[in-house]
Amino acid sequence: MKYIVFLFYRYYNKGATIRIPYESAIFALLTLIFINVVSLMLLFAPQLSNAIFKGHTRIALYVYFTIGVAIGYYFLSKFIPKKDILNFVNVSKNVIFHGWILCFYIIISFSILMSLIILNRQ
Residue 20 to residue 60: CA distance in whole angstroms: 29
* Residue 53 pLDDT exceeds 80: no
Residue 79 to residue 43: CA distance in whole angstroms: 28
- Domain positions in the chain are 2-119
Residue 67 to residue 43: CA distance in whole angstroms: 24
pTM as predicted? 0.85
Residue 77 to residue 22: CA distance in whole angstroms: 9
pLDDT digits 0-9 by tens, 7-37: 999 899 988 888 999 999 999 999 999 999 9
93 class by beta-carbon count within 10 Å (0-12 exposed, 13-18 middle, 19+ buried):
exposed
Q: Looking at residue 8, what is its pLDDT? A: 92
* Residue 92 pLDDT exceeds 80: no
* Residue 111 pLDDT exceeds 70: yes
Lowest mean pLDDT among 10-14, 30-34, 49-53, 73-77: 49-53
- DSSP per residue, 78-119: HHS-HHHHHT-----TTHHHHHHHHHHHHHHHHHHHHHHHHH
The mean pLDDT value for 67-80 works out to 94
